[in-house]
Amino acid sequence: MEKNTKVKLGLIGLGTVGTGVVKVLKDFDNIEITKIAVKNINKKRDIDNLDTSLLTTDPFEIVNDPNIDMVVEVIGGMDPAYDLLKTAIENKKHIVTANKELLAKKGQELFNLANQNNVVILYEAAIAGGIPIIMPIKTTLAGNKINKIEAILNGTTNYILTKMEKEGVSYEEVLKEAQKLGYAETDPTGDVEGFDSAYKIATLATIALNQRVDINKIYREGITKISAKDMQNAKELGYKIKLIALARLTQDNKADVRVHPMLVPVKDCLASINGVTNSVVLEGFPVGRVMFAGPGAGEFPTASSVLGDILAITNSLGSTDILPFMKCNHNKSAEQIDINDTTNKYYLSVTATNTPGVIGTIGEICGRHNISLASVLQKGIDEKNTAEIVVITEECKENDINSAIEEIKNNSTIVKINNLIRVME
């Protein structure tokens, strides 16, 4: 690209992230925002001296404009984002997106289309907000064989779990407060049921493990069943409960990718990630174990990641092959393991009648299903003459623990199975 020529950029979306992008781009003379697609032109914006003539309610004006070099999409979701980005790529425009759902569901198709049209899709902001993670994996860590990712990728759930742990209050109470403060959506399903984290780990695992991961084969479990009692029990046993996005390669190179709550040992670095902070821990050779942590969302942190991608493309325009190391070249689809075939340690909480030998009964049942107990905790007897019994198992098969739970559930001394949570090694 000739010097002194401004890169022309079209922005789709002017919400929190889009507003941040407009604000930070004011300091860059070589980039010009020529059009911004919005839902409501008359909405008051928190941007000084915004040129309202740039606004349009038709985003297809942007993706079909022959003068625009790069499209930045920050609206999220599938519709209309998928059609918009597909059209933009076919029109040979470079893409910067923060859309984790779109990448998880249609990434393979869009990356292949981008390769055919010699354009690049960059998406640093789609995973872990302001934390640089995609570019480091593709560049500095490119020589590593990464075999494990353990990550906290959703600020809403981490905020809720942190408050529950510190204040001993229920999930429902904290969720209401988080919604009032704007940390949780009115409909929090995408966050609290683990969808958001699953979208992110699908893309992150594809890059880091170097195999295409199918979002539809990722086991997903949210935080809605975690109680204040579980938090207290975990603390007594030396753990904290976090919603963990996990991806690892087995010895035979299969991919174990899932999202669910885990008891994390207090000495593990992820245990110290609190509030809305996100963190990604990578393990591989030769680097060993490295941790990235920082703000997982927000106007300026996310705009920082978008800006980095915009500048990477801007500085490479004019090359015959733009940012070749950032293009997707994964040809192999991962053979993903079903959750029932995984091996884990487990936290199991049951309510049992206060009768002699009940702990022994639980131990015997577990033993019949090839499960050894690592620790046992009995909580006080209540007015109904029942007690809570908490066990942490040694490593065992998911199938075996499920079979054991069925037998425990049907035992006359057991009143209720309270919770089963996997435990981080």
Active site residues: 200
Query: Tokens 């919770």 identify what position?
Result: 419
Residue whose C-alpha is closest to residue 364's, from 399, 393, 404, 394: 404
Distances (CA, A) of 366 to 333, 359, 370: 36, 11, 7
- Judge contact between 391 and 418, C-beta under 8 A: no
Query: Cβ atoms within 10 A of the Cβ of 334, count?
Result: 22
- Cα separation, 247 vs 106, in Å, equals 20
One-letter identity of residue 65: D
Contacts of 206 (CB under 8 A, 6+ apart): 107, 212, 213, 330, 334
Residue whose C-alpha is closest to residue 339's, from 270, 275, 413, 401: 401
- Judge contact between 73 and 95, C-beta under 8 A: yes
